[in-house]
Structure 1
């Protein structure tokens, strides 16, 4: 784990996750998104010729009644920033951490987008389009004609008193651009495997890594690649990147005097068993491969 927080990097504390294959996940399921949203798919969505699947149709049939469109104007400068350091009690913690995601990513248009805990209420924060520490390209976990539900950076509360789990929120479809990703990361802690999954199949990235010890566990569930950077000051990484995730430690308020406890994949010389502060310790080639994944790539951590 990181020794001291660096001004250009957060301290990593938890491990990487993997996105479980679910009925709703389809490799490039743009038609899945269109089915959930109706026929008015915006031009911002990248076109995709992949036909919808029966599982996608079932997901669409099971979708909840759509929320009403909201065309209100909001001054996002008056709304709390949602980023890796934010603590916002109004932002929900993911209520379905082992649930599915789509292969659709959302990024705010303009300077940023208002974030809603409830599409029928007022916004509780704002997600910027650009941020030094990333976290602005986020995976969609649910979609309707006028709304998308996404995973978010930041925390609802600070452990041990508050819940530091993966947060979620709703964005208006008109406020975001939508793209697709053809891959996701799947981590199985018990099996000690990490795969990048795509239409081409499974690419085994690692079958030997360390994860969180019982007192500082690796969080499980869905999250995403938030930010990737090299931090020379973290000498234990030996020049390999830090791949930070959108989820933070379930038990730590911060790490090594820092104010965040961010999960990450990173290099470490000892890579076996439940020995970390929550991060996943990998060898150099594995970290370097994961560092090639773009921001927003879904990640699912299975126990």
Structure 2
């Protein structure tokens, strides 16, 4: 789950992001000042879109990522329509706010929004963002407990996942990566890394002070992979989440099926 990192300690924010994904948050983070980090802990936001921009694959399968230029952006219900909300940047983790572009119509972009209900879309002005492109996407099959990372139309990484329990399921849908966090305790419940997702639990409107945000993260209980074990988040092996952290940009699309 997530809370406002700009107003609270990073340790608490990471716990709020991921509380409910694992049963215990006590080992998630701890205060640490080593390494020159100015915040309370080294639960560091790490992702950006700098590695996203490159030529599209031969198959032409790619997605556009819009990064907000200023400190806030206006979202409209329709092109030239009334404004519906203002979203600030950076996000709660100090990461530049990004959106996954669904339609590019020149001066206007329809984007997927990181808000409830899942799948919400809005229009933003192209002049308010910087565009990048990624050929990567992540597909998660809930029924098969598996994931595949594609580079264009080519599978480049596959693995197993754990998903939400029956009472707190991982909701199907189209999402995107919103931030990358490295927990202090690499052997803790959330493993080596955690990616925030743009979606939210359909059951947990709030949990431990956070809004019920979903995530993809590592685990210190690999035996649970291949089962329904979480409160909605997707767990993968530490090897897999480390590969994702090194190769996937913030904004990369994630599709949950099944």
Normalised by the length of structure 1, the TM-score is: 0.62
| 8 Å CA contact retained: 1:225, 1:244 | yes
- Choose the corresponding residue for 2:128, options 161, 175, 191: 175
Distance in 2 between the 1:302 and 1:50 partners? 24
Deviates more, 1:239-248 or 1:220-229: 239-248
TM-superposed deviation, 1:132:
4.1
Q: Which has the larger Rg?
A: 1
* Structure 1: unaligned runs, 5 residues or longer: 15-45, 57-101, 156-163
Q: Indicate the SS of the match to 1:226.
A: strand
Task: Tell me if 1:237 matches 2:189.
Answer: yes
- Choose the corresponding residue for 1:280, options 223, 226, 234: 234
- When the two structures are aligned, how many residues end up with a matched partner? 214
- Choose the corresponding residue for 2:244, options 290, 294, 297: 290
Gap change, CA 1:47 and 1:147, over 3 Å in 2: farther
* Structure 2: unaligned runs, 5 residues or longer: 3-9, 22-52
Richer in strand (by share): 2
Distance in 1 between the 2:143 and 2:96 partners? 28
Residue in 2 that maps onto 1:111: 71
Q: Alpha-carbon deviations, 1:34-68, whole Å to 9, x = none?
A: xxxxxxxxxxxx79587997xx9xxxxxxxxxxxx
Distance in 2 between the 1:285 and 1:113 partners? 36
Normalised by the length of structure 2, the TM-score is: 0.72
Gap change, CA 1:7 and 1:234, over 3 Å in 2: farther
Aligned ranges 1:84-103 → 2 under 5 Å: 103=63
